[in-house]
Structure 1
Amino acid sequence: MTTLVEKHESKKKQLQLSPISKHIVQRIHRSIYHSRELINEKNLLYENKVYSLDIEAIAETIMYKKQFPLHVRFDINSAPAQILRQALSRIHGYQLILAQVEEEIAEKYKSENKEHEKKLLDLWNEMKPNTPLNSRISKQWVDIGFQGSDPATDFRGMGVHGLNDLLYFVQHYPTIAHSVLQHASHPVYWYPYAIVGINITKFAYQLLETKKLQLHLFEYGTSLAQFTDFYCYLFYTFNRFWVNHEPKLTVMDFERKFNDFKLQIEKDLSCGKINMNIILQRKKNENDGARF
């Protein structure tokens, strides 16, 4: 690991302005994960879900155990030391995302919970701003892709995390979300918007939990917001997949074609072909437009 870090020293003197690449983070991750000398440090990084983990202390211990040169170990501003700290922060950040997501999945939707109910009503108001909801229990929920009159039953599998994802999508990408809903509401080639969104939530979690999303988040950032942006990318991409498919699809094709979609996404992740700029630029435009 010493050689790996040191050889980037000359390129990383201004590290805050030039973040390290995902591949360097990945290689440091593998070095730590498979090291017999760094078992305690690995446990702290990969098992500890404390948000205020002392990255500085872990970095110092790793540099000591891996026999980094003295001038590196005793200079916290040296490029190798900064590279290592950045990598450790992203590695632990990935674990924190997983912990946060699993907490939200474990939190079941409860109709008596005022916060849950507010989020659900916010979802309706964001998705259907010009159509008042007649009552909390209403067949109108089907219009945004729930299965029946009470959406609470549809969140059983993914808990409030499924609701949070749907709400994030329309709040941060309103133009895209409304366009997707419009496509999902086609009289013939429709699909249940909210139910598909919850299925995508489950898929995103599976990618996170199996580490298939690791390299992607090492590139874009290990934060819950970055992970949820990836969910939005999946929803946007699935809609394009559905709308552009020939021959045209119906809801009876969903299970089979959703499996095809998942396989394609996994392939794109492994090949580094996920282009988040497709939607991140839209998000920037939405935010810029909201200021005026």
Structure 2
Amino acid sequence: MSDVLQELMELLKLESIGVNRFRGRSQDLGFRNLFGGQVLGQSLSAAIQTLNHGDWNPHSLHAYFLRPGTVQDSVEFEVDVVRDGRTFATRQVTASQNGKAILTMMCSFQHPEEGFEHMADMPSVAGPEGIPSQVDLARKFRDFFPERVRDIYTADKPIEMRVIDPVNIFAPQKKEPLKHVWMRADAPMPDDPHVHSTMLAYATDFNLIPTALHPHAVSVGQKGMQVASLDHSVWFHRPFRMDEWLLYAIDSPNGSGGRGLCRGQIFNQQGVLVASVAQEGLIRQVVSDEGKGD
């Protein structure tokens, strides 16, 4: 297992600091604030650690980002055991820094069950072979990044992501609000399905909101863009492995009121729909006084 993947798995494990209370470290990914996907994955991990023994799997989570998190401070998680039923279990998680809530999440777990089956078809797109990774592209444009984050953006990543027809974030052009991303962990992972679930929750926060910027020919890499996740939902449909290629098919059906709505479907290479995602985020362009007319 690579060092960066091991580091991410340790980041998502958490330390117990009391009854249904946990602490997690923070990681600087070069963004202005703490990466929301980290808090999503850690919150799900906290909820999992409060489950009674048994074959429980997450089937959905719904989270609101309340305040920006900082990369300098650890995150504390408090879990409310809302319900333990025969088939479903429900948890509410509050993530805090310095005594203030930065995220609240409701998540639900279910024992495996057989039932009716149907699913959407996988988009017909190129496979992951031969597509450069986001890290490869970042290294190609290394000198365009601010010096403060240059090494972070071009370093090895625990999850390899390959975007089909990527946007040049330094010179974006108008295009349809669609994105297809192949992703997988950069090394084999343990068989524990909860490890894969928390890592998928982490990974789903990448690539969503930037898709809502496509029709406007702007990107998160441009000056004056204020972009942040507001809420986030994941539905886990079927078993999957994060160390096998998954296709993240994203679209943005709406942008209004300074917000962009994005949806995602995640398929394995066999075309099986394993998870669905929805997120609304802030997409605001701040115009400086110098850029305003008289």
TM-score band w.r.t. shorter chain: under 0.3
TM-score, normalization by structure 2: 0.24
TM value normalised by structure 1: 0.24
Judging by fraction of residues, say which structure has more helix. 1
Higher strand fraction: Structure 1 or Structure 2? 2
